[in-house]
């Protein structure tokens, strides 16, 4: 009798834990990407709505984040694979990341997409007060956020989503 009660309590605890994790990983997303302005490393000013018509990955990262550094080659490969079909990547360095570190990283790793430094924290705040890195948002051609990835994404899943968004 004690074993079955233990199993039942364990199952309940596991269900609650999984539910909490899913809620943390998939909070209610805004209907569309927030209309934010950002400055790229080259000093050019942009607005997120200028990317409408493209499928966009907005990736919040930091040079001090080991998972961010680990996933960056996959972000680059994804960009290179889909960019000719209307896909764009925007890498947003977090407010606490020293601009010289970001610029050096982008140069050394030859990042082929826009890199912005969120020096005021306003871009991260507009996307739901992003604090954990990496956090990425996949945005469709109409500017609607379709998926939020916290941590390194499942790139096979991400590629399937990108494929479906590029044909729609």
CA distance 161 to 147: 9
| Residues 91 and 61: beta-carbon distance below 8 Å | yes
Mean pLDDT of the region 38-67: 96
Higher pLDDT, 7 or 76: 76
Mean pLDDT of the region 84-102: 97
Q: First-to-last CA distance in the chain?
A: 55
Mean pLDDT, the chain, rounded, equals: 87
Beta strands 114-117 and 45-47, pairing class:
unpaired
Tens of pLDDT, residues 117-163: 999 999 999 999 999 999 999 999 999 999 999 999 999 999 999 99
Res 168: pLDDT: 75
Quickly state the pLDDT bin for 5 (edges 50, 70, 90).
low
Residue 64's Cα: distance from chain center in Å? 16
Assign a CATH topology to domain 31-167.
Glutaredoxin (3.40.30)
% the chain with pLDDT above 70: 82
CA distance 49 to 44: 15
The domains of the chain are located at: 1-29, 31-167
Q: Is residue 18 over pLDDT 90?
A: no
Beta strands 55-61 and 135-139, pairing class:
antiparallel
């Amino acid at each position: 009798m004690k074993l079955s009660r233990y199993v039942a309590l364990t199952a309940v605890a596991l269900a609650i834990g999984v539910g909490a994790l899913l809620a943390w990983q998939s909070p209610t997303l805004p209907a569309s990407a927030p209309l934010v302005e950002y400055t790229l490393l080259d000093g050019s000013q942009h607005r997120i709505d200028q990317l409408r018509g493209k499928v966009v990955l907005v990736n919040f990262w930091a040079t001090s984040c080991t998972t961010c550094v680990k996933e960056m080659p996959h972000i680059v490969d994804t960009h290179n694979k889909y960019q000719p079909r209307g896909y764009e990547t925007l890498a947003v360095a977090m407010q606490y990341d020293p601009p010289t570190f970001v610029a050096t990283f982008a140069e050394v790793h030859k990042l082929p997409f826009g890199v912005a430094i969120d020096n005021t924290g306003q871009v991260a705040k507009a996307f739901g007060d992003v604090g954990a890195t990496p956090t990425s948002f996949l945005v469709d051609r109409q500017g609607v956020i379709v998926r939020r990835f916290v941590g390194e994404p499942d790139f096979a899943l991400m590629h399937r989503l990108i494929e479906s968004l590029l044909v729609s």
